[in-house]
């Protein structure tokens, strides 16, 4: 699993331990948690506490962490009975993720005014993000050695440390070239080791939170009244490909999804296109 997943699961288990200690549930004589004393009633009390201020998706993940933990304990004979066997995960909501229309993307990218070196970086980051459809973690992890300007491809490392090759458009490549010139003016690029593409003001690799701020800033400057995080550009990438005739299987490969059902959540067809497909395909349309 990715470091993010491991960190989140660790946090979920720590939170469960804190709940048990605070409520004085399943503790031994010294006040330590005794996992063998955790039963279905304790689990239900914990879930009731969670449902007060959390979304179903958050509760589902915390429950998944507990299920994995107690399954491990039971498999290794640390406990006599798994208290979560009768506990079902909450049915997940499936809200449509925010995304931009093609016109909105052109407005966003066209509104970037180049006044500083950071503006050149922001334009390159957004162009690459939309052109390739990579994850935000893959974008910030990009090194100059991962870019093949001749072939127009990027090498990215995704979830589970899986590597894949994705194409990137000429406009994005030119934005990268322009940014590379500006970057070298301020920072000496090392000949060995990692050479991050996107840097912050201190010369370090930017973070995913930095990308979120870049997206928020330029959406606001472009006058686009839409609340959208960095993954909105990834959603837009997939949707625009689908609307232009790309098949879901190809989009799945480009996005690096293990399951096609995940890809379907990232894609949207508007009513006009659905109607056009219906008129063309249905024998009695």
Report the catalytic residues. 135, 159, 231, 234, 257, 266
Residue 223 to residues 21, 111, 121: CA-CA distances in angstroms? 50, 9, 20
User: Considering only CA atoms, which of 81, 77, 101, 119 is closest in space to residue 217?
Assistant: 119
Counting beta carbons within 10 angstroms of the beta carbon of residue 90, is it exposed (0 to 12), middle (13 to 18) or buried (19 or more)? Answer: middle
Residue 189 to residues 39, 172, 231: CA-CA distances in angstroms? 57, 21, 29
DSSP H or E run through 167? strand 163-167
Question: Would you say 224 and 108 are in contact if contact means Cβ atoms under 8 Å apart?
Answer: yes
User: Considering only CA atoms, which of 235, 120, 103 is closest in space to residue 183?
Assistant: 120
Instruction: Report how far residue 87's alpha carbon sits from residue 96's, in angstroms, rounded to the nearest whole number.
Output: 28
For 29, the token pair is 């004589």
Instruction: Report how far residue 81's alpha carbon sits from residue 77's, in angstroms, rounded to the nearest whole number.
Output: 9
């Amino acid at each position: 699993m990715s470091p993010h997943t491991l960190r989140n699961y660790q946090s979920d288990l720590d939170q469960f331990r804190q709940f048990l200690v605070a409520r004085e549930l399943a503790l031994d004589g010294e006040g330590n948690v005794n996992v063998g004393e955790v039963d279905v009633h304790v689990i239900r009390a914990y879930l009731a506490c969670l449902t007060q201020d959390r979304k179903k998706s958050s509760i589902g993940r915390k429950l998944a962490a507990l299920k994995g933990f107690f399954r491990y304990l039971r498999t290794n004979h640390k406990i006599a009975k798994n208290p979560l066997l009768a506990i079902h995960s909450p049915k997940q909501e499936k809200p449509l993720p925010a995304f931009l229309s093609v016109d909105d993307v052109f407005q966003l990218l066209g509104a970037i005014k180049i006044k500083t070196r950071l503006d050149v970086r922001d334009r390159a980051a957004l162009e690459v993000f939309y052109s390739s459809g990579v994850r935000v973690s893959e974008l910030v992890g990009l090194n100059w050695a991962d870019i093949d300007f001749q072939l127009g491809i990027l090498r990215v490392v995704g979830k589970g440390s899986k590597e894949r090759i994705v194409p990137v458009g000429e406009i994005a490549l030119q934005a990268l070239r322009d940014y590379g010139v500006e970057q070298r003016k301020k920072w000496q690029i090392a000949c060995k080791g990692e050479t991050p593409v996107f840097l912050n003001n201190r010369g370090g690799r930017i973070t995913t939170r930095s990308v979120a701020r870049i997206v928020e800033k330029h959406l606001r400057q472009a006058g686009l009244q839409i609340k959208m995080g960095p993954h909105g550009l990834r959603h837009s990438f997939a949707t625009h490909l689908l609307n232009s005739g790309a098949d879901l299987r190809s989009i799945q490969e480009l996005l690096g999804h293990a399951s096609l059902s995940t890809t379907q959540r990232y894609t949207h067809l508007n009513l006009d296109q659905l109607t056009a497909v219906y008129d063309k395909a249905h024998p009695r349309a």
